[in-house]
Amino acid sequence: MDHLLSGLDTALLLRTLVGVAVLVGAVMVLLRLAGVGFGARPVTAIARAIGQLALASLILSGALTLPWTIAAVLAFMLTMASWTSAGRLGSMPGGAQAAILGIAAGGALAVGAVFALGMTPLEPRNVIAVGGIVIGNAMTASTLAGRHFRTLAHHRSGEVEAWWSLGAPSPVAFAPVAQEAVRDAMIPNLDQTRSTGVVTLPGAFIGALFGGASPLEAARFQVVVLTAIMLAQAVTAIVVTRRLARMGELPAPE
C-alpha cells in the first residue's frame, strides 16, 4: 500500500476526481435532455470502476511480484466477465451458461495461443496485460452476440417457426440467426482493427509507449493484442450463439 501511495501525485489525483465528476455530470445532463432514461447508471458505473481499479491496483502489485498469483487474477477476471455478461443474457434459456462457456473458451484459447506461439515473452506482466485485454473483449463479444441473437430471433421468428413446423431441430432453425449474430458482434472490433493507426491509437499501443517501449515494439505488441482479441471474440460469439440456438422456444423480448 505504501509503495502505491508513494508514487501518487495528490494534486493530480484531486484534479482527476473533479474532472471525472464534471464529465459524468455532463453525461447525466445530456442524457436527461435527450430523454434517455439511464437514471444514475453512469454515476454508479464510474463509481464501480474507481473502486474496482483501486482493488485491481492492490492485487496486481502483488501479482507482479508473486507469479503464482497470476492464475488467481486471471480466474477472477474470467469470473467477473462471465458474471457481467451472464447478467445480460440470463433471461434467455441457457443464456448464463452460454456467456460463461463462451468467455472461458474464447479467453483461454486466445491467451494460450499468444504465449504458446511465442508472440510475447511469458512473463507475469505480459500474461496479466494480454489476459485482461482479451477477456474484457471476449465479454463484449458475448454480450453483443447474445443480444443480437435475441433481436434477430424475433425479427426472423417466422423463419424459425417454419423450420420447427418442418421438424427441424432448434440448432438448424436458429442457424441463420446465430450466423448473423456472430457477424454483428464482430463488426465493431473489425472496424476498430481496420482503423488502428489511422483513426485510433489503441490502449495497448499507448500503454507500451508510456512503459518505455519503442514505437516499433509498441506497434508489434498492439498487433498481437488485436489478433488475440479477434480470435477470442470469434470463438466467444460462436460458442454463445451455438448454445443459445439449442433453446426450444423464441427468447422473451428484452
Question: In tens digits, what is the pLDDT along the chain, a chain of 254 residues?
Answer: 445 455 567 888 888 889 999 999 999 999 888 888 778 888 998 998 888 777 777 766 665 666 667 888 888 889 999 999 999 998 899 999 999 999 999 999 999 999 999 998 888 888 888 998 999 999 999 999 999 999 999 999 999 999 999 999 999 999 999 999 999 999 998 988 888 777 666 666 677 766 777 778 878 888 888 899 999 999 999 999 999 999 999 887 77
Does 252 reside within a domain?
no
Identify whether residues 10 and 49 lie together within a single domain.
yes
DSSP state, 38? -
Domain end position, chosen among 27, 48, 63: 63
Residue 251 lies in a domain: no
Grid cell 482493488 — which residue? 55
Q: Is residue 13 part of a domain?
A: yes
Judgement on whether residues 234 and 209 belong to the same structural domain of the protein? yes
pTM of the full structure: 0.81
Q: How many CA atoms lie within 13 A of 126 on its CB side?
A: 15
28 within a domain of the structure (yes/no): yes
Q: Structurally, how many domains does the chain consist of? A: 2
Q: Are residues 178 and 137 in the same domain?
A: yes
- Domain span at 28: 1-63
pLDDT value of position 121: 87
Same-domain check for residues 142 and 229: yes
- H-state helical runs in the chain: 2-6, 10-33, 41-63, 70-89, 95-116, 124-155, 157-165, 170-173, 175-195, 203-210, 215-244
Residues 112 and 235 in one domain: yes
Domain boundary among 21, 42, 63: 63
- 238 and 115 within one domain: yes
Q: 235 and 102 in contact (C-beta within 8 Å)? A: yes
